[in-house]
A = this chain, B = another copy of it.
Amino acid sequence: MAALLGRWRPRARGCRLRHGPAGQAEWLLLSQLFQPLNLQAAGALGPGEPSCRSQRLMLQAGLICPAGPGCYHYLPPTLRALEKLVGVVDQEMRAVGGQKLSMPSLCPAELWRASGRWERLGPELFRLQDRHGKGYCLGPTHEEAVTQLVAAHSSLSYRQLPLRLYQVTRKFRDEPKPRFGLLRSREFFMKDMYSFDVSAVAARHSYDLVCASYRRLFQRLGLPCVAVRAATGSIGGTVSHEFQLPAEIGEDRLLLCPHGHFAANVETLRGDQTSCPTCGEKLTQSRGIEVGHTFYLGTKYSSVCNAVFYSPENKPQLAEMGCYGLGISRILAASIEVLSTEDSIRWPSLIAPFQLCFIPPKRGSKEEEEEGAALLEQLYRQLAEALPHLASEAVLDDRTHLTIGKRRKDAEKLGYPYVVIAGKGVCEHPPVFEVWDQNAGEVLFLTKEGVVELLSKVQVP
């Protein structure tokens, strides 16, 4: 046993993060992860900054670290969740014909002047000049850029439409009062799609397709999202919907028909609307976090940049556009906000940074003497062979100076969907492992084969 634990201990030099010979399945050692835990903290934040549950939990769990007002470092587990979420979004965007590209953050001022947004966005835009005095803004969205890009395609035919172009990039907005961690920051990740169609009818079809893909996305994440009628704001256009996650700390006020006939952001309503225009039922109020926003733009931007396609009669015609945003980093925080308890993080299973936490016996315990750690490692190897997609989803809580109970408590707070423990049962024949399904809130006692069967249902993007 000493030899085995010896192998878990960091080697003196070199690559110690992963355990096991190169090429084999390897779990990550919790003690080596760069995830500064502060789980006992009462939630000390910046002085006077308004706070919320997700922000507090993410700071305590070593998921984010402040880097400046409204700017955060995304620590390793958060980046894993972010990359998984992007993977799921990519699947949904490809399913509606989305083509992924990447546009620069530096957006030339003259392009934004042409659309009128250089003035309209006022202090919300981060602005700068290059060494030659040429002006830029850091793109908060890219309607101008993508329209210019499509306009540069000098022989675009109606046969090539619809075009649905999207990117997932860092966006910038100089928020007057950044707050709530990743929910309202000044530098954030956004998925923005732009559609180009031959007609208003076709553009509305694109619009409906993308809205349907957003619904599917939130369904896959297990998030209770509502699409509400919304104002078009500085983006413009004539039709718009917000995708809202109901939450107390949400900054938007919504009015919802209990039968689902009507849903709107109150900012779109005139006067005191209290009953549903379709069924007359009394509307209920809710607060929401905006996680997505769609706009039917018409030719607002294509007319500025002269983004045309050639019709069957070979005549140039302005493309009909739509744009569609998803707050990628905001979805991460909003998920934690709505799924977690006061002191325990819960992730949408599909995008949890790690699916599994393994807890070996305490150093010097009876279970350790009975080779509990070795049995846990065997279980992991068998699992990694049977379910290779889970091989890199496992963390080993190697802090064996702590009791199993203390580490289970930490695992509960950190929100791994499954926690596998070499507890008392490992001394039985055959050994029995304790498995916590944290999202279901239940514990199961299973043999090695039972654990593998249970975990075979776990999905990763």
- Closest CB of chain B to A6's CB: distance in Å? 14
State whether B174 touches A131 (Cβ < 8 A): yes
Q: Contact check: which of B17, B163, B172 meets A97 at CB < 8 Å?
A: B17
A188-207 vs B, Cβ < 8 Å mask (1 yes, 0 no): 00000000000000100100
Closest B residue to A198 by beta carbon equals B13
**Interface-forming stretch among A65-73, A261-269, A343-351?**
A65-73
Q: Contact check: which of B16, B18, B162 meets A16 at CB < 8 Å?
A: B162
A205 to B15, CA, bound (A): 10
State whether B159 touches A67 (Cβ < 8 A): no
Q: In chain A, residues 295-318, which have Cβ atoms closer than 8 Å to a Cβ of chain B?
A: none
A23 to B31, CA, bound (A): 41
State whether the Cβ of A134 lies closer than 8 Å to any Cβ in chain B: yes
Contact of A74 with B102 at beta-carbon distance under 8 Å, contacts A65-B152, A162-B16, A202-B13 already known:
yes
Contact of A130 with B134 at beta-carbon distance under 8 Å, contacts A34-B99, A67-B103 already known:
no
A41-75 vs B, Cβ < 8 Å mask (1 yes, 0 no): 00000000000000000000000010111011111
Contact of A101 with B34 at beta-carbon distance under 8 Å, contacts A131-B123, A187-B106 already known:
yes
State whether A36 touches B72 (Cβ < 8 A): no
Give chain B residues whose Cβ lies under 8 Å from the Cβ of A127: 128
State whether the Cβ of A255 lies closer than 8 Å to any Cβ in chain B: no
State whether A104 touches B73 (Cβ < 8 A): yes
A148 to B82, CA, bound (A): 23
Q: Which of A10, A13, A72, A163 has the most CB of B within 10 A?
A: A13
A129-152 vs B, Cβ < 8 Å mask (1 yes, 0 no): 011001010100000010011001
Give chain B residues whose Cβ lies under 8 Å from the Cβ of A120: none
Q: Contact check: which of B106, B155, B187, B209 meets A172 at CB < 8 Å?
A: B106
State whether A34 touches B163 (Cβ < 8 A): yes
Q: In chain A, residues 104-137, which have Cβ atoms closer than 8 Å to a Cβ of chain B?
A: 104-108, 123, 126-128, 130-131, 134, 136
A103 to B153, CA, bound (A): 35
In the complex, how many residues of chain A place their beta carbon closer than 8 angstroms to a beta carbon of chain B? 72
State whether B123 touches A126 (Cβ < 8 A): no
State whether B67 touches A104 (Cβ < 8 A): yes
State whether the Cβ of A100 lies closer than 8 Å to any Cβ in chain B: yes
State whether B14 touches A104 (Cβ < 8 A): no
- Closest CB of chain B to A58's CB: distance in Å? 14
Give chain B residues whose Cβ lies under 8 Å from the Cβ of A123: 131
State whether A82 touches B99 (Cβ < 8 A): no
A80 to B67, CA, bound (A): 31
State whether A33 touches B99 (Cβ < 8 A): yes
A126 to B132, CA, bound (A): 11
Contact of A174 with B130 at beta-carbon distance under 8 Å, contacts A82-B102, A104-B67, A186-B106 already known:
yes
State whether A79 touches B102 (Cβ < 8 A): yes
A238 to B136, CA, bound (A): 37
| Interface residues of A, Cβ cutoff 8 Å to B | 10, 13-18, 22, 31-34, 36, 65, 67-69, 71-76, 78-80, 82, 94-97, 99-108, 123, 126-128, 130-131, 134, 136, 138, 145, 148-149, 152-153, 155, 159-160, 162-165, 169-170, 172, 174, 176, 186-187, 202, 205, 209
Can you sample 25 A-B contacts with CB below 8 Å? A10-B159, A13-B205, A14-B205, A14-B209, A15-B96, A31-B159, A32-B97, A34-B153, A36-B155, A67-B103, A68-B106, A71-B104, A72-B104, A73-B103, A73-B149, A74-B103, A75-B101, A76-B101, A79-B100, A79-B101, A105-B170, A105-B172, A130-B174, A131-B174, A170-B170
A17-B97, A17-B99, A68-B108 are known; give 19 further A-B pairs, CB within 8 A: A13-B162, A13-B205, A16-B97, A18-B94, A18-B97, A34-B101, A34-B165, A67-B145, A68-B106, A72-B104, A73-B103, A73-B145, A82-B102, A105-B187, A106-B126, A126-B128, A127-B128, A130-B186, A169-B170
